[in-house]
Structures are given as C-alpha cells and as structure tokens.
Structure 1
C-alpha cells in the first residue's frame, strides 16, 4: 500500500511512499530535505484531507511559516483550520526523548493526523548517551506512532559534508523507504539529485532522479517524447529588438533570443538523441518559416533530410512552404532521383565549390523572400567531407558573412569531431550545451552563462515546445 507523496513528478518514478510506513529522508545540509517533507505534509492536507504534524528542532514556528509562504504553502491558515500542528522540539529536548515521544503521540492521536515529519532525527539522537537507546527509541516510535496510529512518518537525517554513512547505521534497516539527497556541480552549475535507495514493496526502475526547488519541490523524471492530441499550426513569436526569437517563450526568457547576425553553437552530448536537440532547434525553424524567412540545412551525422521535413510539418508548415523556403544540401551519394525541390545535391569534394553553391542558394532565397536566412549546419558533416581544418575555415567565413547579411546560423556540435567543436567555441556568439543526467534532459548556456534548465516537451499548443525549468 502506498500513499501519494504530493511531490510533483515523483509519482512518475515510484508509486508513492509506503502508507503507514517510516520514511528516512537523508542528505547534506541545504539539499532540500525540509522542503520535500513540508510538501509531503501540505499536499496531504490540501489534496487528500489528511491532517499533518511537523515537529522541528531546526527552526521555530514563525521562521518555518515564513519560509513556507515563499513556496506558496500557507501552513498558518491550515493550523487555524485544525488540519496542521507545528511542534517546537527545542523546549522538549532537555526533558529527554521519552517526553518527545509522548508529546508526539498525544498530538497525533488527538488530531487524528496521518502524516508526520520529525526534523531532524539527527538532532533528537544527540540527546541519547548510548546508541542502544536510539534503537529502542526507533522501535518505540515505529510501533506506537507509525503502526498503531497509522501515521505515515518522515524522519529527516542530516549527513555531514565529507561523510556518506547515515546516522548510526541501523535506521535504514528499520525504515520502509530511504531517500538520499545530494547536490553536484556540472561545469560550475548547481544540480540537486535524489537516490531512492530503498522502497519496500515496489520495484524502482529509475533509482536516481534530478529535482529542483523552483516554485516548490519538483522531480524531473526521465525525458519523454509525446505527441499533441490535436495538431495545430505554429504561432510565430515576436522578435526581440535587433534579434530573432528562438520560437520558444521559455528559451527567449532564458537568453533573450538570438542577436541578428549571430552564430549559435549548440553542443550536443553523446547521450542525446536527434529528437532531443530538434526540440530546441525546431521552434526556431518554425518561427523563421512562418514569417516567410528561408531556412538552409546541412544535416548532421545520423540525421536525414526526410526527418527534417517531417519535423517541420509537425509545426503546421505546408509542403508548398517547405519547397519554397527550405533548401537542404545533401551529398549526391545520398540522394535518389525522386528528390523534392527542397533537396539540393552537391559533390562534397571541393570546399571552395561547395561553399560557393551554399552562398548561391542563400542569395537566391534572400532575393525571392526579401528576408535573411536561418542556416543550420551539422559541423560534423562538414568535418567529415572537408576535414577539421576545412570545417573551421568554413566557420570563419560564415561568421563574417552572417554579421554582414544579418541572418542567423546555428551550428550543431555533435562529439564526433570534438576538436572542431572546441575550436568553434570562440567563433560563436552564443554557446549552449545539451546533456542528460539520470534520463533528465538538461540545457545550459556557457555564453551567456545560465543556470541548468530541465527540458520537458510541451505540446499543449498543438506542437512541440521545450518547457524549461530552472534547476535551483
């Protein structure tokens, strides 16, 4: 039997928390244990009508209420309604552990509470002289409160920095669930993680997940591709001053759009699949095309022109618009005779001739549309045909030209030729990175520097957009 945790995203990974069970939430200071536990209590009250008790040695009532109001949790009102009780353990600690147990039992039984948090068990345990007393305390607590009163209980355990063991080493054996929180750094950017080390009665297929404290506690489960229930035509976004919209409201907010005449490097982790990075690039393509602006593509390794055309049509772009505004340069060896007008075959034997064809295509599209083009280049493809030096030579030429014509270039940097990607960094105006951690898709900026963002697919408008959540 499991009870809903109330934690956004967690029920996509586990069925809930053991009902009438003992859950240990452990981690270093500042990893989100208090917010997780408070969210558990708050959700139980608001969503399921289960009364809750929060017993704390960490902070007083007013501080707790103030901190929780910042997350949108009004525990003060819930207390006035008789649904919540805050216990300050500091005053009881001097009287001994038995006084704490008796007080908690009395309050839980009197209220009929079904959810309880002890913050923190580590502080309570310091009041015992002998570790055997702690074991007795745990068993008493488990039998009298968790089992007899049917109250699902969270015990918070502090893990000091530099240590990995939890408490006194036996709590995890008594517990029905063990959740371990920690924080790591990715290129100087903060990321929080949860490890589901134990969950009695359930198989856990994704034992490690990322989470954020942005607007409350939220687990970001492994990325999923989803389709809209009803497809709609993309609605173009307004461009920022002297720039272009990314086509994504969230990405526009994060980096302010793309400057006119700029070159964007999207560095792609080897664990990233083609549909993942297309979620970032696709809205930009749609925003250009549906404003009558042309798009030129040199596909990256592992991608085909057919996939690109199909992806564009997902945004409601017609076949006529594709043939009029899109040009895809593909090596002759990979094109059959029944190619559509948007596919331009070329012989990738001479860099100068291929670049000349590239410029001719751009000039023709700009002349017909009267607008600058978006160019998307798989730099691994260029390096494959013309060598690493050829790729950088082309990059230098294109950076200068882009500034002159005021268009936009996006370079796709897959790690097939890491030396090329590294050399492309100083040429780029904006440098974004796309990676994965525990299945969670993460996007972040190196130029400009941004926090980590969890990327989820949003199809609520009838087409795919990246939903970005700051990982704080």
Structure 2
C-alpha cells in the first residue's frame, strides 16, 4: 500500500503513498525527525493496514527505541507481541562481524516477509561496510527482496549541519525516492520543512511542505498557497490556521512571502 498513515502526507503530498518495491532515502540534519517519520511509517503500517514491519538499527538499542517511541504514542512492544513487528539491533556490531550479520539480517527478513523495512542509518552502515559493499547490499540483497515482495524500505541518512551533500554519496544513486527533512530560518523563527526532490512514479506538487514535531509525532501544517495579486505587493495577513504560529508571525504570512 505504501501509505504512511499520516493524513496530510497521504492526502496531499504522496496521494498514492510510496511506490511498491522501492527504496526511499530519508535524509536530514540531526533532530529533524527522520527516525520519528520512519517509525511512524512502520507503526501505522501495522496498526492501520495490518502490514508487518522491521526496524534495523545501528543508532540505538531496542529498549531506547521502544521507550522513545512510546512517549509519542507508538507502542512497538505491543506490535511485536502480535507478530507484526521486529527490531534488529546492530548497534554493537563490529566491522569484522558486519558481513556475517548481514546474512543473519537477510535471513530474518526473508522468513518474516515484512512489507515495510527501515534502516537507521544507512550512513553508519556505509561507514562500517564501505561504499561498494553497501551499494551491493542495497542492490542485490535488500533491493531484490523489496522488489520481489512489493515491499518498501526507508533508508535513513545523516545530513551534516550546513552540508549540501547527503550521507556518503552512495545512497542517492541506488534509491527510487529521496525525502529531505531540514531546518529553515525566517527571521528569528526556525521552521521545519520537507522536500521531495525525487520520487519515481509519483508527482509532487510543492517544492516543500512545513511540519512540526509534537507529542503525537510528525504533523504537517496546512498552509495556504500564497500568490501575488496582479503583481502588486500587499501587507495583508493570511492566517496559517495554527494559533501559536500566527502569534509568532504577527498575525500570519503576508501574501508576498514565498516559502
């Protein structure tokens, strides 16, 4: 199905969800919400659509992940008990053991047959395994499973602060879609925006979409399209529909602000 279960994203951003059989890169700076977005995709997949998911972590332990997600209302332990979710912990895997662990990893995925897979993060994976072996893994092992079972994999990649490049450079060449989560400054206000520069078999209408992270996870701001009226500038304010954001913007956006 490929839908995230996040209403605004599914209705207005990727109306048909992620393409089946695809690898999607989710890149962003630290704290941008990559893990939360990807975990939400897995959680909603199981809760709302009955699709099994696997989270492969090189960033945090199972306990850390479960506790952090539970604070956002996502109980992955419950899903695990129901046979809808598996967490594979590779945090302590050494360089010498990674290739053996990959065999175990693919064995687990093949037997469980999830429709949704997340690797957190592919950047760390590439550091341990090396660029060429990571490319082979994505193409010939994970990629083949994903396409054979019409599953979808989200590959989390770290984008260093201020950097224009993503991860180690290998990721962009093997994926079907790229989502970038970033910070943007508007005066003294810092906004979170999502960009989707690449998504095969899908059209994306806007250059970017604004979102916030709340106790409920990722929430998108339903901002109106701003257009100039006959080429004339106006200071008329347009409400964002969000009271706190309107106060921060002194009543809302003006018609001439481009974002």
Residue 208 (structure 1) shift: 0.8
Residue number in structure 1 paired with 2:6: 7
Residue number in structure 2 paired with 1:198: 198
CA distance in 2, matches of 1:160, 1:52: 28
Residue number in structure 2 paired with 1:141: 141
Aligned in 2, Cα 1:29/1:277: closer, same or farther, shift over 3 Å?
Answer: closer
CA distance in 1, matches of 2:234, 2:5: 31
Structure with the bigger RCO (C-alpha within 8 Å, sep 6+) is 2
Residue number in structure 2 paired with 1:166: 166
Residue number in structure 2 paired with 1:43: 44
CA distance in 2, matches of 1:94, 1:121: 15
CA contact (8 A) 1:222 1:440 kept: no
Gaps of at least 5 residues in structure 2 are 226-232, 243-247
Matches within 5 A, 1:151-162: 151-162=151-162
CA distance in 1, matches of 2:154, 2:96: 23
Gaps of at least 5 residues in structure 1 are 225-269, 281-429, 442-472
Per-residue displacement from partner, 1:229-255 (whole Å, max 9, x unpaired)? xxxxxxxxxxxxxxxxxxxxxxxxxxx
Residue 7 (structure 1) shift: 2.5
Residue 436 (structure 1) shift: 6.6
Residue 117 (structure 1) shift: 0.3
Residue number in structure 2 paired with 1:363: none
CA distance in 2, matches of 1:198, 1:132: 23
CA distance in 1, matches of 2:239, 2:68: 37
Residue 88 (structure 1) shift: 0.6
Cα RMSD over matched residues?
Answer: 2.9
Per-residue displacement from partner, 1:66-125 (whole Å, max 9, x unpaired)? 111111001111111111111111233444443343222222222221101000010111
Residue 433 (structure 1) shift: 3.7
Q: Secondary structure at the match of 2:184?
A: strand
The alignment's TM-score, normalised by the length of structure 1, stands at 0.48
Residue number in structure 2 paired with 1:398: none
Matches within 5 A, 1:220-259: 220-223=221-224
CA distance in 1, matches of 2:56, 2:253: 40
Residue number in structure 2 paired with 1:392: none
CA distance in 1, matches of 2:166, 2:172: 8
Q: Secondary structure at the match of 2:250?
A: strand
Alignment match of 2:250 (pick from 432, 449, 452): 432
Residue number in structure 2 paired with 1:98: 99
The alignment's TM-score, normalised by the length of structure 2, stands at 0.83
